[in-house]
């Protein structure tokens, strides 16, 4: 390694210098790049073949010079290439801090809006301009539209690749940095130097990086006072040759012909549109497709694709106009269309359980059109039911809804609930009386018990606690005085965004465990965290990563906050099947996905978590295997092999770990519903995925019960394997499909 590129927006030069000063103590040569010309930064990162640390800040995400070409640049860099995104606060023109967040969908939307607004501004200027100036604006419009379309994807990409916040980086003495760049051996040396020079030492001299020779490997640090420290050169690893795969990295397409450029842009636009369509954001996907069609009205591929998706979603085709700017100057009438889009996006988000994002979308509807029909009602009922942290806002929405329809009984019932929660039972009774006088079906014994105050002679008013939900297994918690109670056990579940993983998260949360929840779909993780926190008061850390990316796994698991470092139970659940073909017809990409996720992902995670367990001489690893790991079935080939590997690994890990007092178990279920397993296996083909209609399979909760059973046995008991089917299944191929 000759140097590490330190890339940032020029607004964040101070922060870049600070990082440099910290790390150049051991002679790491950084090459600062904050080019101001659009696209230079991106092509430098992609073209240099050097490792790169990229500072993602609010400034970066709003800077045209930084964002131009950045998505394709990062996409062109192989996964294995050492790349670290550090998310840090930005600064505004007054030098004040501007927080940067990228962990939720809403955050990406904020930047999409920023770039869309920039596009609208330029578009207004374009309309006023004439002659050569008009051409300049036209080029700008193009560039900004591309960024507006790509910024969401770029943020997703940063989330998918390994990223850390500045705080995480610093709180752990930059260990993630050293790990990510293959310099782990250097961390101890670095710490010693920091201790030597004093943590809080002000470094007055700015580093003089531009003069650093780039071919001599890492440089020696400033002369050290400590005689016992060896000179740095002798300790540094040999400079690593640039791997071939990196040398082969395609440079930016500066020499592509205009036709190739157009093709590339069209392909990108189609990919962008499908990204949103696949995620269920149909309006946005169609909008992107339409914009591209307007940009390239003669492109047949685009026209056909636009037509196909519109007919698929049964949306009428829109006329394509040649001038990109003409269609897109914001007018008050656009507000109502935009409000409709946000309303639809909110519906879809709520349908998927992403309530925070639904709230965000519907709040935008209110901003755009406060008279939008039914919007306050939707906001009020959804927020009341799903977002406990927004109770006051919910009451505001509900009251606004009553202004439009003063006889809305469900809204009154929601207000009755809020009154109860706010300790106002008399007010709750009034709302309940009013609601049930409008809709008498609301009057029930259950509601009477809840909302009607007890008789005068009965004991003082008590608000009925909800019935404790029976748990399948009782956890034996020793009686200890409250203040001495040890922290609840901590469970890490991979693949907690759906199916078995999600059901397992719910069961452990219900039983008071603390949780680290992982998976790639961040919005799902956030929604699950919110609901478990509000229902059970759970203590939850979200840790989104792709188990196939060993760098991301390592970065995530080695940067856990202190309170979440001692994992008691690891549940290796993330996994999937892809395809159902005989061996000679299988798809290489399906096979890679299964092996990378089910086998390699499992060992990447286990390796790191097991290290902590070994140190503490305690822990429990539970692998989610399958019937497919015990017996094969036609067309199951690679999935069966991957689960057979899980079965073998479970037994092998048991041998490796039992002397360290670590338990290793497995659950091996047959068919399980309430999961996305079948729909994923058949690549979204809902018809083929109907494999549970004619018999009763296990449910995700049944498997969660088994996992919980294993985890809650006394410490001297290790359940090796729970091999389980529904009653109507006797083996992989013997299923009684005579109806449920």
Exposed/middle/buried for 190, CB within 10 Å: 0-12, 13-18, 19+? buried
Residue 512 Cα distances to 476, 487, 712, angstroms: 12, 10, 12
Whose Cβ is closer to ligand 8X3: residue 451's or residue 692's? 692
* 732 contacts ligand 8X3 (rule: CB under 6 A): yes
* CB-based contact 515:509 (threshold 8 Å): yes
DSSP string across 520-545: S-HHHHHHHHHHHHHHH---EEE---
**Rounded-to-integer distance, Cα 167 and Cα 180, Å:** 16
Considering only 15, 571, 628, 710, the residue that binds ligand 8X3 (CB under 6 A) is 628
Q: Which residue number is nearest to ligand 8X3 in terms of Cβ?
A: 626
Nearer to ligand 8X3, 70 or 628 (CB): 628
Stretch that binds ligand 8X3, among 11-19, 41-49, 54-62, 626-634 (CB under 6 A): 626-634
- Which residues, in sequence order, are bridge partners of residue 664? 621
**DSSP states of 168-212 as a string?**
HHHHTTTHHHHHHTT-GGGHHHHHHHHHHH-TT----SPP-GGGS
**Other CB atoms within 10 A of residue 535 CB:** 14
What number of chain residues touch ligand 8X3 (CB under 6 A)? 7
Task: Name the minimum Å distance from CB 663 to ligand 8X3.
Answer: 23
Q: How far is the CB of 253 from ligand 8X3 (least distance, A)?
A: 43
51 binds, among ligand NDP, ligand 8X3, none (CB under 5 to 8 A by kind): none
Both structure tokens of 412: 């009154």
Judged by CB under 6 A, does residue 187 bind ligand 8X3? no
Smallest distance from the beta carbon of 282 to ligand NDP, in angstroms?
A: 20
53 three-class SS: strand
3-state secondary structure of 572: strand
Least separation in angstroms between residue 640's CB and ligand NDP is 11
The least distance separating ligand NDP from the CB of residue 634, rounded to whole angstroms, comes to 17
When CB distances are held under 5 to 8 angstroms depending on the partner's kind, the choice from ligand 8X3, ligand NDP, none that residue 732 binds is: ligand 8X3
498 binds, among ligand NDP, ligand 8X3, none (CB under 5 to 8 A by kind): ligand NDP
Based on its alpha-carbon atoms, the radius of gyration of the chain, rounded to whole angstroms, reads 29
Q: Which does 609 bind (CB under 5 to 8 A by kind): ligand NDP, ligand 8X3, none?
A: none
Q: Cβ 739 to ligand NDP, closest distance in Å?
A: 19
* Rounded least distance, CB 649 to ligand NDP, Å: 13
Closer Cβ to ligand NDP, 397 or 508, answer by number: 508
Nearer to ligand NDP, 357 or 362 (CB): 357
* Four-point Cα dihedral 417, 419, 423, 425, nearest 10: -90
**Is the Cα dihedral 196, 201, 206, 209 positive or negative?**
positive
**Binds ligand 8X3 (CB under 6 A): choice among 62, 159, 377, 671:** 671
| Segment near ligand 8X3 (CB under 6 A); pick from 362-370, 468-476, 549-557, 622-630 | 622-630
- State both tokens at 645: 């590997």
- Residue 500: name its binding partner from ligand 8X3, ligand NDP, none (Cβ under 5 to 8 Å by kind): ligand NDP
Rounded to a whole number of angstroms, the minimum distance from the CB of residue 670 to ligand 8X3 is 6
Question: What is the rounded distance in angstroms from the CA atom of residue 577 to the CA atom of residue 597?
Answer: 10
Q: What is the largest CA-CA distance in the chain?
A: 89
In the complex with ligand 8X3, the residue whose CB is nearer, 103 or 647, is: 647
Of the pair 11, 600, the CB lying nearest ligand NDP is at: 600
Among 428, 627, 646, 710, the residue binding ligand 8X3 under the rule CB under 6 A is 627
360 is catalytic: no
Which range of residues in 312-320, 420-428, 456-464, 623-631 is near ligand 8X3 by CB under 6 A? 623-631
Q: Are 362 and 371 in contact (CB under 8 A)?
A: no
Q: Looking at beta carbons only, is 114 or 723 nearer to ligand NDP?
A: 723
Q: Measured from the CB of residue 626, what is the shortest distance to ligand 8X3 in angstroms?
A: 3
Work out the burial of residue 484: count CB atoms within 10 Å of its CB; fewer than 13 is exposed, 13-18 middle, 19 or more buried: exposed
268 vs 593 by CB, closer to ligand 8X3: 593
Residues 6+ apart with CB under 8 A from 468: none
- Residue 734, burial from CB neighbour count under 10 angstroms (0-12, 13-18, 19+): exposed
Residue 574 interacting entry, from ligand 8X3, ligand NDP, none, C-beta within 5 to 8 Å by type:
ligand NDP
Indicate the residue among 522 and 628 with the shorter CB distance to ligand 8X3.
Answer: 628
Q: Measuring CA to CA, how many Å separate 56 from each of 59, 278, 629, 659?
A: 8, 27, 43, 45
Name which of ligand NDP, ligand 8X3, none residue 573 binds, using a CB cut-off of 5 to 8 Å depending on partner kind.
ligand NDP
CA 73 vs CA 32, 33, 47, 151, 160: distances in Å = 18, 15, 8, 13, 15
Q: Which of 43, 68, 165, 626 binds ligand 8X3 (CB under 6 A)?
A: 626
Catalytic residue among 111, 390, 604, 639: 639
Interaction partner, residue 90 (ligand NDP, ligand 8X3, none; CB < 5-8 Å by kind): none
CB of 519 to ligand NDP, least distance (A): 4
Nearest distance from residue 44's CB to ligand 8X3, in Å?
Answer: 46
Its sign, for the CA torsion 631, 636, 637, 643, is: negative
Q: Which two tokens stand for residue 160?
A: 């998918």
Q: Which residues bind ligand NDP (CB under 6 A)?
A: 494-501, 519-521, 524, 546-548, 573-576, 597, 601, 624, 626, 669, 671-672, 675-677, 680, 700
- CA–CA separation, 559 and 606 (whole Å): 16
**CB 346 within 8 Å of CB 378:** yes
- Is residue 599 near ligand 8X3 by the rule CB under 6 A? no
Q: For residue 86, give the 3-state DSSP assignment.
A: strand
If the CB atoms of residues 325 and 515 are measured against ligand NDP, the closer one turns out to be 515
φ/ψ of residue 269, rounded to 5: -60, -40
> What DSSP state is assigned to residue 52?
E
353: partner contacted, choices ligand 8X3, ligand NDP, none (Cβ within 5-8 A by kind) = none
Beta strand 163-165 with 83-87 is: parallel
User: Which two tokens mark 263?
Assistant: 């093709």
Residues that bind ligand 8X3 (CB under 6 A): 626-628, 636, 670-671, 732
Catalytic residues, which ones?
A: 639
């Amino acid at each position: 390694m000759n140097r590490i590129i330190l890339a940032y927006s020029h607004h964040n030069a101070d922060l870049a210098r600070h990082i440099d000063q910290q790390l150049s103590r051991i002679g790491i040569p950084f090459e600062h790049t904050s080019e101001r010309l659009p696209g230079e930064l991106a092509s430098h990162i992609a073209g240099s073949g050097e490792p790169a640390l990229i500072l993602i800040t609010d400034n970066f995400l709003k800077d045209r010079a930084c964002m131009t070409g950045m998505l394709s640049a990062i996409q062109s860099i192989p996964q294995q290439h050492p790349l670290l995104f550090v998310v840090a606060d930005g600064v505004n023109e007054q030098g004040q801090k501007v927080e940067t967040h990228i962990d939720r969908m809403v955050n990406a939307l904020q930047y999409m809006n920023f770039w869309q607004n920039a596009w609208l501004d330029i578009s207004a200027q374009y309309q006023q301009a004439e002659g050569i100036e008009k051409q300049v604006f036209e080029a700008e419009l193009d560039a900004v539209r591309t960024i507006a379309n790509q910024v969401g994807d770029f943020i997703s990409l940063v989330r998918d690749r390994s990223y850390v916040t500045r705080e995480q980086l610093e709180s752990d003495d930059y260990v993630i940095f050293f790990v990510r760049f293959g310099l782990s051996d250097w961390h101890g040396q670095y710490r010693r130097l920091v201790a030597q020079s004093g943590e809080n030492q002000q470094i007055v001299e700015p580093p003089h990086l531009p003069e650093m020779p780039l071919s001599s490997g890492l440089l020696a640090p400033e002369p050290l006072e400590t005689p016992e420290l060896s000179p740095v050169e002798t300790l540094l690893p040999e400079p690593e040759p640039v791997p071939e795969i990196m040398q082969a990295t395609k440079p930016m397409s500066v020499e592509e012909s205009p036709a190739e450029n157009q093709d590339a842009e069209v392909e990108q636009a189609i990919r962008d549109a499908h990204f949103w369509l696949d995620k269920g954001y149909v309006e946005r996907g169609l909008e992107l497709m339409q914009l591209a069609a307007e940009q390239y009205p003669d492109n047949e591929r685009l026209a056909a694709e636009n037509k196909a998706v519109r007919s698929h979603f049964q949306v009428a085709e829109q006329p394509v106009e040649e001038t990109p700017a003409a269609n897109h100057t914001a007018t008050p009438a656009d507000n109502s269309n935009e409000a409709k889009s946000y309303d639809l996006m909110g519906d879809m988000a709520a349908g998927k359980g992403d309530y925070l994002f639904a709230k965000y979308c519907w709040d935008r509807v209110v901003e755009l059109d406060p008279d939008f029909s039914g919007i306050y009602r939707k906001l009020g009922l959804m927020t009341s039911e799903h977002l406990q942290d927004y109770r006051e806002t919910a009451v505001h929405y509900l009251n606004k809804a009553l202004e439009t329809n003063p006889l809305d009984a469900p809204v009154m019932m929601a207000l009755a609930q809020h009154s109860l929660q706010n300790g106002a039972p008399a007010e709750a009774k009034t709302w309940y009386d009013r609601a049930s006088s409008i809709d008498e079906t609301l009057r029930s014994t259950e509601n009477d018990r809840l909302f009607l105050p007890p008789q005068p002679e009965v004991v003082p008013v008590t608000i009925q606690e909800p019935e404790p939900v029976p748990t399948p297994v009782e956890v034996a918690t020793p009686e200890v005085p409250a203040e001495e109670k040890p922290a609840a056990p901590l469970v890490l579940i991979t693949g907690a965004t759906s199916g078995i993983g999600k059901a397992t998260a719910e069961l452990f949360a219900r039983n008071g465990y603390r949780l680290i929840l992982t998976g790639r779909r961040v919005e799902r993780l956030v929604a699950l965290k919110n609901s478990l926190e509000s229902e059970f008061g759970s203590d939850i850390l979200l840790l989104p990563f792709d188990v196939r990316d060993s760098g991301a796994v390592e970065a995530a698991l080695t940067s856990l906050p202190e309170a979440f470092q001692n994992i008691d139970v690891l549940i290796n659940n993330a996994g999937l099947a892809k395809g159902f073909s005989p061996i000679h017809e299988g798809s290489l990409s399906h096979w890679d996905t299964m092996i990378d996720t089910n086998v390699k992902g499992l060992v990447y995670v286990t390796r790191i978590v097991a290290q902590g367990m070994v140190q503490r001489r305690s822990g429990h690893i539970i692998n989610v295997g399958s019937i497919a790991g015990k017996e094969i079935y036609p067309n199951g080939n690679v999935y069966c092999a991957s689960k057979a590997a899980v079965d073998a690994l479970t037994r092998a890990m048991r041998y490796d770990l039992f002397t360290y007092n670590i338990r290793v178990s497995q659950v091996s279920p047959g068919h399980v519903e309430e999961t996305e397993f079948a729909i994923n296996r058949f690549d979204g083909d809902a018809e083929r995925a109907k494999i549970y209609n004619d018999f009763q399979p296990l449910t995700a909760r049944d498997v969660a019960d088994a996992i919980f059973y294993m985890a809650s046995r006394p410490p001297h008991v290790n359940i090796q394997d729970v091999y389980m089917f529904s009653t109507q299944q006797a083996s992989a191929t013997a299923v009684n499909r005579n109806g449920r």
